[in-house]
Amino acid sequence: MKTKVALTTGNNRSENIRNAINLIEKDIDLSGRSNVFIKVNFVDTEIQAAATHAESVRVLLEILRKRYNGKITIGESCIQGPVIQAFQHFGYLDMLKEYKVDILDMKEGEWEILHLYNSEFKRMDIHYSKQMLESDYLISICPPKTHDQVIVTLSIKNVVMGGPSHKYDDKIKIHQGPQVMNLDLYLMAIEHLPELSIIDGYVGMEGDGPVLGDPFEWKIAVAGCNAVTVDSFTSSLMGFAPQGVGYLYYLAQKGYGTGDLSKMQILGEKPESHLRQFNPHPQYERQKKWPDERVNKILGV
């Protein structure tokens, strides 16, 4: 059976998100859930184009609350200061109160220890958000952006790089070159992949992403219940073959989703009408050198 992914477009950000979610509504299973976690993207606390837009989250919360009355937590961590400052700057606070949503500053809280690798492929332990790992329905909602280390950042990377602790400098420790970083992203991702991935591509970012790149209006939204498929599909729309993005390649090879568009059931718009060759990061040539036999041996691919 083909994996569903929805693509919508239009001149209204909120309606794009709503329409994309509605196309895959039957796949969103909230039965028996009691701990929904939404991971937004505030890699910067000032630049809106680098951050998840409040309008997108409002639509998501409206849809969720029609079907689910339990706990919802929205989390992120910011290197610049307390995450509450970002929620305030981007206009979230009244909305979160309206929909009875808790805020988690992911600099704080309880931690699980994950075993990753450093640049010498030796064991490296990090502190990873226990609250996010233990949620029983994980949602990632973020903009599509080029990245300074791993080519693209989409729903999976949004989640996994929210988990490592700023307090212990674990986010910094993970940036040790494209070979090992793509492996570590894979290892973190398989601890808890999003059950629902939403890409708000009303505005995308190309070039020097994920913060200082060039924003442009793309006016699309993508949604689906398989994060690997959603991110692979979106990467293709951005002009980057998912097989060329290390962590997406590993996840597909290990059976967590597909990067093959012929195995996807694409709902809504025709993808060929919305292809956009994103200008890659200036370090793109270095980023493409992620393949490494040591990783292949570790993962058995």
190-210, pLDDT tens digit by residue?
999 999 999 999 999 999 999
**What confidence tens digit (pLDDT) does each residue in 245-284 have?**
999 999 999 999 999 999 999 999 999 999 999 999 999 9
213-222 pLDDT per residue, tens: 999 999 999 9
Q: Which of 289, 257, 118 is nearest to 190 (CA)?
A: 257
The pLDDT, as a whole number, for residue 54 is 98
What integer pLDDT is reported at residue 266 of this predicted model?
98
How far is it, in rounded angstroms, from Cα 90 to Cα 150? 26
Residue 238: predicted pLDDT: 98
pLDDT of 294 strictly over 90: yes
Of all residues in the chain, the percent with pLDDT exceeding 70 is: 100
Mean per-residue pLDDT of the chain: 97
Q: What is the tally of structural domains in the chain?
A: 1
pLDDT at 1: 84
- The angle, 0 to 180 degrees and rounded to 10, between the axes of the packed helices 54-65 and 13-23 is 40
| pLDDT value at residue 80 | 78
Do residues 7 and 220 lie in contact, with contact meaning Cβ atoms separated by under 8 Å? yes
> What number is the average pLDDT over the span 139-155?
98
When pLDDT is cut at 50, 70 and 90, the band that residue 166 belongs to is confident
Poorest-pLDDT segment among 77-91, 172-186, 217-231: 77-91
Global pTM reads 0.98
Q: What is the pLDDT of residue 132?
A: 98
What mean pLDDT is predicted for residues 116-125? 97
Q: Is the pLDDT of residue 78 over 90?
A: no
Residue 218 backbone dihedrals phi, psi, to 5 degrees: -110, -30
What CATH number corresponds to the domain at position 18?
3.40.50.11440
What are 43-58's pLDDT values in tens digits?
A: 988 999 999 999 999 9
Mean predicted confidence (pLDDT) in 176-202? 98
Full domain range(s) for residue 182:
3-299
Give the DSSP H/E element, type plus range, for residue 266.
Answer: strand 264-268
